[in-house]
Structure 1
Amino acid sequence: MKQSKRDSAPEHPLKNVVWGRIYERVGQYWKALAVAIFFMALAAATQPTLALAMKPLLDEGITGAKPDYVWQVPLAIIVLIFFRGVCTFFSDYLLAWVANNVLLKLRADMFTRLLAMPDSEYKKGDSGRLLNRFTVDAQNIAFAANSVMTVLVRESLVVLSLLGVLFYMSWQLALIILVIMPASVFVSRIFMKRLRRINRETIATNAQMTEVVNEGISGQRVIKLFDGYGYENERFQYVNGRQRRHQMRAAIADAALRPIAQMIIAFAVAITIGVALHEADSGVLTVGSFAAFMAALAQIFDPVRRLTNVVGHMQKMLASAESVFDLVDHAGEDHDRGKQFAGKVKGKIEFDQVSHRFTDAERDTLSNISLTVEPGQVLALVGRSGSGKTTLVNMLPRFVDPGQGQIRIDGQDIAEVSLRNLRSQLSLVSQDVVLFNGTIAANVGYGTLGNASEQQIRDALAAANLLSFVESLPNGLYTEVGENATRLSGGQRQRLAIARALIKDAPILILDEATSALDNESERQVQASLETLMKGRTTLVIAHRLSTVQNAHRIVVLDDGEILETGSHSELLEKDGAYAALYKMQFRK
């Protein structure tokens, strides 16, 4: 029991912080909220008026004391209902406007943080959870906040005004309601913790479902070719089943809350009716007063029930808010902090005693790597898979930071240079080409290159041996390439990436297996484009096909994170070491 108390204690400060942050975001639109609350107050004020109308109608209208009441009171009720409808419309509209603006700003902040996250965060394989924060969690916050606010404000006002009517008609009877009603609030609090925990679990399973569905879409060809239908269906059914279980647990807790609270209210109502009938028999209450009291009491059930039900929405909103603010609070990379390169970068690269070990790894991925690449030189990195080639190259744009050692460009430690300035000096063409759903022109002139002229884009495509193909398309440069350029062949996609690197005109170029996934004809075309791209640039090439690196100024052979040997193609063949063995094995095949 002591342990459970310690575990539960921190929840309250965290909950208060989350509520505070929600209030802060919603509060930015306080003017619209104030007007909405004003209209809600007007709408709430009409509720007890309908109950009060019963007293003159029965005491003086039906008895004939004031016969005009027979048509005046019903007409007044119609006017009140119309007035309440108008007020409700404006309050709902304004609250929806606030909710959508909160959602707009929240998603914008999340996406900014998402793009600023370091590369290591993306490698955690949590894409389903990230997507879920945008599609489910953010919407839960905005629209649950809207629903919660509407219920809390409007229904609280209605309850208070109806309680005023009850006290006006009979304070003795109203006291009975006030004494018993807090019991329903106490019961609600018992369910709050459980609902919040269940909603956290539901959010986690939502993320897993998004991940499984996303993999089913992206990997549909592999699933079909390797007959993975059963396996994927089994994965989905498992996640889908967990989702159903969590939702049912939430539904059970939510469903149990309502009848328990209603039973407490029913006891209060039963006692109240008994006392009211006694007072009516004694002449303390008139027929009209009794009818007005019962009308107000009957109307109080719905707002109290909605106030009770809002507990579930609040816990769902808080669980989603914790997930969203976790992303919003992510520190991310500061792209502009640091120095600028002094003058135009020539492209001299120095790796000085560089080592690196990934978190939880048993050994270093790289160990004491020292290399120098002169401006304009081509350095090729070869070796077995897992030898550390990609990790070493990823240190240049600081996707990975060295654990020890220093990396310098033109004598400047890149750890002291701003990420934006550093990355503006680098271009990348890799085996896994990333293109965006848009036009060819938009992909070639992507990002900060978006202001490139049409002629510059044409020149880049021509240098990449792709212009004739692009001009043969119906819309030319403005042809839509589809999601990740699925409408283009592998070689065309690769040359489009080369054109993008050409137009950037960065002094340092990284080629990561740029031709390994292509057939011989496509490889020749892409290799010719790469030779154009490499002219005058310091180039680091990662390659498994040794035929593509024979003309490199220097070849470095890596194994288990260490340099085995280095030299030109001919020098390494003469040494008859690891490189020669790799070369002979490839050409024997």
Structure 2
Amino acid sequence: MKHFKTLKNFLLEHKKRYILGIIWLVIVDILQLIFPQILKKITDLLQSNQLSLDELLNYAMLIMLLGLGTGLGRYFWRIYIQTTARKAEYYLRNRLFSHLQSLSTNYFNTHKTGDLMAHATNDINAVRTALGPGVVMIIDSVFITITTLIMMIKTTNLLLVILALFPLPFLAFSVQKMGKVIHKRFRNVQETFSDLSDRAQENFAGVRVVKSFVQEEEEIKKFSKVNKNNFDKNMKLIKVSGLLRPLIQFISGISFLIVIWYGGILVIEGQISLGDFVAFNSYLSLLVWPMMAIGWVINILQRGSASMERINNILFEKPDITDSDNTLDTINNIDGHITFQNVWFKYPNSNGYALKNINIDIKEGTTLGVVGRTGSGKTTLVNLILRLYDIDKGNIFIDNIPIRNFLIKNLRENIGYVSQDNFLFSTTVKQNISFAFEKDIDDNKIYNAAKKAEVYDNIIDFPNGFNTSLGERGVTMSGGQRQRTAIARAIIKDPSILILDDSLSSVDTQTEERILKNLKDVMEDKTNIIIAHRISTVKNADHIIVLDEGEIVERGTHEELVNNNKIYNDIYVKQMLEEKIENI
């Protein structure tokens, strides 16, 4: 199975466990082959009235021992094969998650969360089933088929064997054809399950929007439509996979019919004994399992192959942003001098440039304010500093070194970033603030960061203070509390570059003023970039730029820009008017 080559290293590492499991499986199969011979012996002795009570007890004891050995063997092959399949599941899920963490931001812009969740759950389960029960059924069916055929030929009439096995080629041909259909339809099932997961995940995440717009019924209809599609695809799969077992039973029934007819004639004519006939039927019963297993194996392997193919599509995906060949891995600390030189950038799959001919020089220890209308390119600007995207033309330098020459890890560790969405994890407040640290840090540092972000008093009012667990995405906090917690998370890193991306929009002007005053000491030795819609947030910046449609249309200090009577002044006048109206 070509799609399973991704697991080559894992399978080589655990081959001993698989080998031991297969050995125990073969032992079980050999023990099963002894049963028909015991039945043959007992039947012939009974027919000739030569079976004594002691011999009957001995045979019964032998059957019990064989049953015990078979039970132990089945336990051990399960321990070795099934647990290895579980380890493969664990390994693959970790590998998938780790790889997703390495992919660039743009990948998650084009792939839905629900779809990725389906890969990490349903698809990996299908692969685990293929590597566990699938392997068992392959070995079991192949070994039992070969050895049973040998025993049938050696102990019974050759013509009877040929007639009994005559229907099997039709079975093999049918299973092969159906297997291809199963593979295609199971892939469709997994894709529709991804759509279903994505619809549910998105709806749960946006449940407050749904309720506020009274769209529950409409969302139920949309979910029902996706659910119906998932149901229909599963039904199409079942219609094919459900035929496998009845088909195998029908063909095996034909084989038994042939054996009863022709084998009965041979017994009547004395060419074989009644014990031979009973043993032959027992062997044929053993063959029914491999014939049934063929169907299950094809089903399981095709499902596993389809799922592995889907997982491989992610594992083979390369990140857009990687460390370059010219990376200077010795640079761990950044001073913070940032230079944009004729920078042009457009998002993947976009025709228009989001930023055009950007030239900025931000000296270390200074603060740059960035103002502009919605969609003017403010967030895009800082995304380039974080190397979430690479530029199309021009250069970005940090400390006069091209940004591509920094290790991505080192670059981002030196930047404290507060994004617009203020994402918080569903852990404790303390863990959210100390997110940047791998080990536990001094609580006083956490408290101090919270105080500077003006969120300390809010947190200690929570039921468990800093140990209060937050809801999904920090939903149990208000918008302002989330913003301030995110600010605390950024400043506790003590980064060389601090970026605040519209991170004070949800707090009132008085709280904003206190936060900026608290941050004055924090920002003093850092390079700071403050993006804001409110002029009050950036008015004290050393330098301010105004973006409009991806271009810098104004630059200067607050006083200079107010006197320009352009976009900045227009925004400033409107906001001053709004403040006066609010204070009336």
TM range (shorter): over 0.9
**How does 1:368-387 map onto structure 2 within 5 Å?**
368-387=357-376
Deviates more, 1:294-303 or 1:18-27: 18-27
**How does 1:489-528 map onto structure 2 within 5 Å?**
489-520=478-509, 522-528=511-517
- 1:92 paired to 2:92: no
Q: Normalising by structure 1, report the TM-score.
A: 0.92
Distance in 1 between the 2:410 and 2:41 partners? 80
Aligned match of 1:234:
221
Cα drift, residue 513 of structure 1: 0.7
Distance in 1 between the 2:51 and 2:330 partners? 92
Preserved CA contact (<8 Å) 1:511 1:542 = yes
Match of 2:381 among 374, 392, 409: 392
User: Deviation digits for residues 316-364 of structure 1, max 9, x if unmatched?
Assistant: 1001101112222233354696114757432111100000122332321
- 1:37 paired to 2:26: no
Cα drift, residue 491 of structure 1: 2.9
Match of 1:56 among 28, 31, 41: 41
Aligned match of 1:28:
13
Match of 1:141 among 122, 127, 131: 127
Equivalent pairs, count: 574
Distance in 2 between the 1:472 and 1:558 partners? 40
Preserved CA contact (<8 Å) 2:324 2:405 = no
Aligned match of 1:164:
150
Deviates more, 1:254-263 or 1:97-106: 254-263
Counterpart residue identity of residue 18, structure 2: L
**How does 1:203-222 map onto structure 2 within 5 Å?**
203-222=190-209
Aligned match of 1:73:
59
Preserved CA contact (<8 Å) 2:248 2:291 = no
Distance in 2 between the 1:447 and 1:558 partners? 31
Deviates more, 1:356-365 or 1:130-139: 356-365
User: Deviation digits for residues 284-330 of structure 1, max 9, x if unmatched?
Assistant: 11111111111221332133112222211111100110111222223
Distance in 2 between the 1:124 and 1:260 partners? 43
Distance in 2 between the 1:558 and 1:519 partners? 24
Counterpart residue identity of residue 556, structure 2: G
- Compared with structure 1, are the counterparts of its residues 343 and 89 closer, same or farther at alpha carbon in structure 2 (3 Å cutoff)? closer
Preserved CA contact (<8 Å) 1:491 1:526 = no
Preserved CA contact (<8 Å) 1:43 1:87 = yes
Preserved CA contact (<8 Å) 2:382 2:499 = yes
Distance in 1 between the 2:371 and 2:331 partners? 32
Cα drift, residue 480 of structure 1: 2.9
User: Deviation digits for residues 136-193 of structure 1, max 9, x if unmatched?
Assistant: 1112111232110111112332333322332122222222344431221111110111
- 1:279 paired to 2:261: no
Aligned match of 1:18:
3
Cα drift, residue 118 of structure 1: 0.4
Deviates more, 1:264-273 or 1:356-365: 264-273
- 1:120 paired to 2:106: yes
Distance in 2 between the 1:439 and 1:350 partners? 38
Counterpart residue identity of residue 104, structure 1: Y
Counterpart residue identity of residue 240, structure 2: A
Counterpart residue identity of residue 19, structure 1: F
Distance in 2 between the 1:363 and 1:461 partners? 41
User: Deviation digits for residues 412-458 of structure 1, max 9, x if unmatched?
Assistant: 11012110111122111133212223333322222336353233333
User: Deviation digits for residues 218-240 of structure 1, max 9, x if unmatched?
Assistant: 11111111111122112211111
Counterpart residue identity of residue 52, structure 1: Q
- Compared with structure 1, are the counterparts of its residues 447 and 64 closer, same or farther at alpha carbon in structure 2 (3 Å cutoff)? farther
Counterpart residue identity of residue 277, structure 2: F
Aligned match of 2:318:
331
Distance in 1 between the 2:151 and 2:438 partners? 69
Aligned match of 1:225:
212
User: Deviation digits for residues 464-504 of structure 1, max 9, x if unmatched?
Assistant: 33444545556444333343333333333322222222221
Distance in 2 between the 1:344 and 1:303 partners? 65
Cα drift, residue 61 of structure 1: 3.2
Distance in 2 between the 1:238 and 1:532 partners? 56
Deviates more, 1:439-448 or 1:114-123: 439-448
Q: Normalising by structure 2, report the TM-score.
A: 0.93
Unaligned ranges ≥5, structure 2: 579-584
Preserved CA contact (<8 Å) 2:40 2:276 = yes
- 1:415 paired to 2:392: no
Distance in 2 between the 1:551 and 1:29 partners? 63
Aligned match of 1:315:
302
Aligned match of 1:426:
415
- Compared with structure 1, are the counterparts of its residues 354 and 492 closer, same or farther at alpha carbon in structure 2 (3 Å cutoff)? same
Question: What is the identity percentage for the equivalent residue pairs of Structure 1 and Structure 2?
Answer: 27
- Compared with structure 1, are the counterparts of its residues 90 and 557 closer, same or farther at alpha carbon in structure 2 (3 Å cutoff)? same
Preserved CA contact (<8 Å) 1:440 1:480 = yes
Counterpart residue identity of residue 557, structure 2: S
Aligned match of 2:31:
46
Secondary structure at 1:123 match in 2: helix
Secondary structure at 2:186 match in 1: helix
Distance in 1 between the 2:315 and 2:518 partners? 42
Cα drift, residue 371 of structure 1: 1.0
**How does 1:178-189 map onto structure 2 within 5 Å?**
178-189=165-176
Deviates more, 1:332-341 or 1:480-489: 332-341
Deviates more, 1:147-156 or 1:185-194: 147-156
User: Deviation digits for residues 192-246 of structure 1, max 9, x if unmatched?
Assistant: 1111111111111111111111112111111111111122112211111111111
Secondary structure at 2:350 match in 1: coil
Preserved CA contact (<8 Å) 2:259 2:281 = no
Aligned match of 2:532:
543
Unaligned ranges ≥5, structure 1: 1-15
Distance in 1 between the 2:334 and 2:353 partners? 31
Preserved CA contact (<8 Å) 1:428 1:510 = yes
Aligned match of 1:4:
none
CA RMSD, aligned part only?
2.2
Preserved CA contact (<8 Å) 2:175 2:298 = yes
Preserved CA contact (<8 Å) 1:431 1:516 = no
Match of 2:426 among 416, 428, 437: 437
- Compared with structure 1, are the counterparts of its residues 223 and 379 closer, same or farther at alpha carbon in structure 2 (3 Å cutoff)? same
Aligned match of 1:262:
249
Secondary structure at 2:110 match in 1: coil
Distance in 2 between the 1:440 and 1:525 partners? 21
